[in-house]
């Protein structure tokens, strides 16, 4: 079952009904575990044992990290015992991180390993293809990031849980299991273990998020995905105008697809009295790349900042070291997304943009005219334009990560006319619209997002609960009736 779908809706209603019918907290936790295993079994039953082993392994590592120094040593040897305990804990942390990272890289780069290890007489394409259909466990990247965050938090002084079912419920919690949002154990567990009753306002908000998520994913993102797939599948015949349209469309598709999933996940959790962290906050309205990363995939940005950027030194060691740290973090983010050069370039573009933003920030502090420029309306508009150009241009390498793909697309960005049949086949016959009409529709979508963001952030306007409750059935029915004939899988399932 996938989010959102009729089967998932029936599953969620069953779980929520049982969850609130059960009064004992311990039984509720076991219900969450069993429901999550059933959910994952419906997607990849062959990886359920792996997930359970990882839960047990990281639970045990957390316990090991909190083992105290030997208190039986004489007083004069206590300091040495403390130092030995510190070295031991650092060793176990390094081992835990290494095991999680190596497992993730092992699966993510399995095609590379197969190409290196298959006999020379066997076609590597065939060998790789026979494995790749089941190669990557869904949700492993988010699962691994949460495990690393938990181990580091325990190493830094947070208490390790002594309750394996609570840890398993956190790790396997089905709304966030596949594509996040990345959640910290202690924040999640405090909500799971609190004796709470069903909150009416949270229930309405949960249903509203599920309805909005369905509209984003099924009604809008999947229809845009049809345009994106048709354009990039016919890239050799496309012109510059077509490539830019496809890039713009893909940026919107990716945002609506991923944020739609998170909306459904957060809405599902709210129905069970759990508030998962927000993951998107109108990122395409930002005027700096730093602000973009504070609003795009927020939990990943927090993870990169807390567990990579700060340990590397952050911005405490001068501009040069700060720039190096930013590039390292974003290159790692690129490698995390995939094993081809396109993802590395994507990370490098964002790293470079962050460095330019940091340099501009320092120059603005020392040069008043530049600082004044950025505060003017035209400065704000320029900042928004430059930021979003970097962001959308980088999506090209995200969507076409193979060198032969993105190199062809880059060659077509300027001064290339499309094949005479491209517009007719892709736009008119397949979509029933011209390229100009598609541009207008996509910019209208951007306008709707801008108005929504302005209403929420500047005017502080929100729909009240009766309106939301009345609109939820309409949203779900509309998404169901107007969905494309072929529903596309979530883009971030690949990561």
Per-residue model confidence as pLDDT tens digits over 226-250? 999 999 999 999 999 999 999 999 9
Of 198, 197, 217, 218, whose CA–CA distance to 206 is shortest?
198
Structure pTM? Answer: 0.91
Q: Is the bond preceding 4 in cis, omega lying within 30 degrees of 0?
A: yes
Residue 361 a catalytic site member:
no
Residue 1 lies in a domain: no
* 126 pLDDT above the threshold of 70: no
Least confident of 146-160, 246-260, 374-388, 478-492: 478-492
Q: Is 184 found in the same domain as 99?
A: yes
Rg (CA), the chain: 24
* 188 pLDDT above the threshold of 90: yes
Task: Supply the pLDDT for residue 74.
Answer: 59
Q: Would you give the distance in Å from CA 231 to the centre of its chain?
A: 25
Q: Distance between CA atoms of 47 and 33, rounded to whole angstroms?
A: 15
Q: Is 335 found in the same domain as 227?
A: yes
Of 169, 189, 154, whose CA–CA distance to 63 is shortest?
154
Report pLDDT digits (tens) over 102-124. 998 888 776 565 555 555 444 54
Q: Is 292 found in the same domain as 342?
A: yes
* 342 pLDDT above the threshold of 60: yes
Q: Is 208 found in the same domain as 193?
A: no
Domain that holds residue 160: 6-197
Task: Supply the pLDDT for residue 75.
Answer: 60
Task: Supply the pLDDT for residue 106.
Answer: 85
Q: Is 210 found in the same domain as 180?
A: no
Q: Is 189 found in the same domain as 224?
A: no
Q: Is 410 found in the same domain as 339?
A: yes
Last residue of a domain, one of 161, 182, 197: 197
Last residue of a domain, one of 162, 180, 197: 197
* 34 pLDDT above the threshold of 80: yes
Task: Supply the pLDDT for residue 215.
Answer: 95
Residue 297 lies in a domain: yes
Helix runs in 367-464, H state only: 368-375, 377-399, 403-411, 422, 430-431, 435-457
Task: Supply the pLDDT for residue 320.
Answer: 92
Q: Is 232 found in the same domain as 106?
A: no
Residue 38 lies in a domain: yes
Compute CA distances 460 → 209, 451, 463, whole Å.
Answer: 18, 12, 10
Q: Is 273 found in the same domain as 152?
A: no
- Say what percent of the chain tops pLDDT 70: 92
Q: How many CB atoms lie within 10 A of CB 7?
A: 11
Of 169, 209, 201, 175, whose CA–CA distance to 51 is shortest?
169
Q: Is 427 found in the same domain as 284?
A: yes
Of 168, 155, 153, 142, whose CA–CA distance to 26 is shortest?
168
Residue 139 lies in a domain: yes
Mean of the per-residue pLDDT values of the chain: 89
Active-site residue, selected from the candidate residues 223, 337, 350, 357:
337
Q: Is the bond preceding 181 in cis, omega lying within 30 degrees of 0?
A: yes
Residue 89 lies in a domain: yes
Q: Is 99 found in the same domain as 214?
A: no
Q: Is 285 found in the same domain as 249?
A: yes
Last residue of a domain, one of 170, 197, 224: 197
Of 298, 306, 351, whose CA–CA distance to 328 is shortest?
351
* 133 pLDDT above the threshold of 50: no
Task: Supply the pLDDT for residue 130.
Answer: 46
What's the number of domains the chain is made of? Answer: 2
Task: Supply the pLDDT for residue 128.
Answer: 45
Of 1, 342, 253, whose CA–CA distance to 138 is shortest?
1
């Amino acid at each position: 079952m996938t989010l959102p779908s009729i089967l998932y809706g029936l599953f969620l209603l069953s779980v929520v009904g049982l969850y609130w019918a059960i009064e004992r907290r311990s039984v509720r936790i076991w219900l969450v575990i069993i429901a999550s295993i059933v959910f994952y079994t419906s997607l990849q039953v062959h990886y359920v044992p792996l997930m359970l082993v990882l839960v047990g392994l990281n639970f045990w590592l957390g316990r090991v990290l909190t083992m105290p120094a030997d208190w039986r040593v004489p007083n004069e040897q206590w300091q040495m015992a403390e130092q030995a305990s510190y070295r031991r804990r650092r060793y176990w942390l390094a081992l835990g991180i290494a095991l999680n990272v190596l497992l993730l890289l092992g699966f993510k780069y399995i095609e590379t390993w197969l190409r290196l290890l298959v006999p020379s007489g066997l076609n590597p394409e065939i060998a790789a293809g026979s494995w790749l259909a089941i190669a990557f466990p869904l949700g492993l990247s988010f699962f691994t990031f949460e495990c690393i965050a938990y181990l580091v938090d325990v190493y830094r002084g947070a208490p390790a849980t002594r309750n394996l079912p609570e840890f398993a419920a956190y790790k396997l919690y089905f709304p966030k299991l596949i594509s996040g949002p990345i959640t910290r154990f202690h924040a999640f567990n405090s909500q799971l273990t609190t004796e709470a009753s069903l909150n009416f306002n949270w229930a309405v908000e949960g249903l509203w998020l599920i309805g909005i998520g369905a509209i984003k994913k099924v009604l809008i993102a999947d229809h845009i995905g049809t345009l994106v797939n048709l354009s990039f599948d016919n890239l050799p015949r496309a012109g510059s105008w077509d490539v830019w349209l496809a890039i713009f469309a893909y940026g919107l598709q990716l945002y609506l697809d991923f944020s739609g999933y998170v909306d459904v996940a957060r809405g599902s959790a709210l129905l069970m009295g759990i508030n998962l962290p927000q993951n998107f906050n109108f990122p395409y309205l930002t005027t700096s790349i730093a602000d973009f990363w504070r609003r795009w995939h927020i939990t990943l940005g927090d993870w990169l900042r807390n567990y990579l950027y700060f340990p590397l030194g952050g911005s405490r060691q001068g501009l040069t070291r700060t720039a190096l740290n930013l590039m390292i973090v974003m290159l790692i983010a690129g490698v995390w997304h995939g094993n081809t050069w396109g993802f590395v370039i994507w990370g490098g573009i964002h790293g470079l943009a962050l460095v330019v933003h940091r340099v501009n920030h320092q120059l603005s502090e020392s040069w008043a005219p530049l600082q004044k420029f950025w505060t003017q309306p035209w400065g704000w508009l320029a900042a928004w334009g430059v930021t979003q150009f970097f962001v959308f241009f980088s999506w090209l390498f995200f969507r076409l990560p193979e060198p032969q793909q993105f190199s062809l697309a880059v060659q077509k960005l300027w001064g290339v006319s499309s094949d005479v049949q491209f517009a007719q086949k892709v736009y008119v016959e397949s979509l029933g619209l011209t390229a100009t009409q598609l541009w207008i529709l996509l910019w209208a979508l951007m306008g709707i997002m801008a108005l929504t963001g302005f209403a929420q952030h500047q005017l502080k306007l929100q729909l009240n609960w009766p309106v939301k409750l009345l609109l939820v059935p309409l949203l779900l029915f509309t998404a169901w009736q107007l969905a494309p004939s072929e529903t596309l899988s979530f883009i971030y399932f690949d990561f």
